[in-house]
Amino acid sequence: MLFPAIFQNQPTSLSGGMEHDVTGADINPQSHTINYKMPEMGRVMIRIGIQGGPLMNQLIDWKPRVKGLITEYWNGKDKDNPADIFSHPRFKMIIVYFTLPENSVIAFGNKSENYRSYKKNFASERPVKPERTRSDTASPSTTPCQEPQIIHQL
């Protein structure tokens, strides 16, 4: 399959967005950690609950993670902390991720503002394109092309 030239050599257009499951994770109740391996960069979601029952905690909500061994911290309890769901006989944990485009960069360190509020504030500070009024006189660059003439051959 050939792609138009505009999409060639653009990793953002041709990579990322694939959903995958992480099937192997080690939970250590003594150190309160969940360790898993990411085969590539992605946005991760970890849900914890009771199989056939309710979702008790969404530990990670589509946060970006790098390729390699990842450690998440969890105390083994539900979101409000009263129930110890790790020791429940039908404990269930699901780890899912969406791949990021090949040229993605993950930055860490900003604890004061989340991405959604940053994006909202960033958009409000951007200059707004001024409204243009239409003129009745058309410039040569905006003059419509003439209709093509149809030539009949005998």
When pLDDT is averaged across residues 84-112 and rounded to a whole number, the result is 88
Q: Strand 33-38 and strand 25-28: pairing?
A: antiparallel
- DSSP string of 42-87? EEEEEEEEETTS-EEEEEEEEEEE-SEEEEEE--SB-TTSSSB-TT
Residue 141 vs residues 60, 137, 145: alpha-carbon distances, Å: 54, 11, 10
State the pLDDT confidence band at 133, using cuts at 50, 70 and 90: confident
* Helix/strand/coil for 125: helix
CB atoms within 10 A of CB 142: 8
pLDDT of residue 1: 47
* Residue 132: per-residue pLDDT: 79
Q: Is 11 or 149 the better-scoring residue by pLDDT? A: 149
Q: What was the pLDDT predicted at 79?
A: 84
Mean pLDDT of 93-113: 87
Q: Which helix (H) or strand (E) holds 124?
A: helix 115-125
Q: How far is residue 85's CA from residue 49's CA, in Å, rounded to a whole number?
A: 7
What span, in angstroms and rounded, lies between the C-alpha atoms of 81 and 74?
A: 11
Structure tokens at 3: 């792609």
* pLDDT of res. 3: 47
What is the rounded distance in angstroms from the CA atom of residue 62 to the CA atom of residue 17?
A: 12
Q: What is the CATH number of domain 18-100?
A: 2.60.40
Q: Which helix (H) or strand (E) holds 14?
A: helix 11-14
Instruction: Give the amino acid at 94.
Output: I
